Amino acid sequence: MSERETRVLADIPGPQLPSEASGQLRTVLRDSLARAAPKNISPGLHAALMSALDDSRRIRCIGSKFVPAVANKVDGAVWIGDALNVRHPLTGGGMTIGLWDVVLLTDLLREHPDLNMRQVTAKWQWQRRPRALVVNVLSVALHALFAAETKELALLREACFDYLARGSYFTMQPSGFLSGLLPNPLLLLFHFFSVAFLAVYLRISNTSVSYPGDALPIRFYSAFYTLFVAARVILPVVWKELQP
């Protein structure tokens, strides 16, 4: 926002948001911050966060949703960006998709002035799909890993950080997915399941920090169950995105 200001995205799971009027929301945020903040966090930063929670201004809250795109069949209107489909806000992909929607639609209208609007939108929806699929699926999958409500998801999260820390294309291509500059769904699946198999290796070799211990047969079972969990995280979202 400025050189001295920033915003923090706080994820509060559950079917209902704690009440702000009663102060419950601020209490939940303080408790979450106390648990999640690194031990070596700057005292100044910690004080600034606590001061922000003491501020009387309303905390901006919005429910996170995943809404796959559907074919536009309304004559005279074109839905773009979040009006067409919504993903988890974790990766900040909303503006990326919205602006690319504008670019692709503008190019089609310029290049094919002879087509009617329904033909243009049909062609546009096909062109936007790979990029939208990558950004949307990645946002949902990363949230599942980073929220990590089970040991298997925590293991996948650890493997994800280990994978990204290797640098080179292990970092460059995932960054391309996040930015919308690498709209390749198959490559996204390759990287996601590479992370999943790295999680399998960490578990079987007993080198995982988040899921240590147990005898070898149990580690084998839990490792391949983690692979199943990974598939359950990403494949249903991909399937929804592929629907016409």
Question: Whole-angstrom Cα distance, residue 174 to residue 197?
Answer: 16
Average pLDDT, the chain: 88
Report, as an integer, the average pLDDT of 193-203: 96
pTM assigned to the model: 0.85
- Span 99-144, pLDDT tens digits: 999 999 999 999 888 878 888 888 999 999 999 999 999 999 999 9
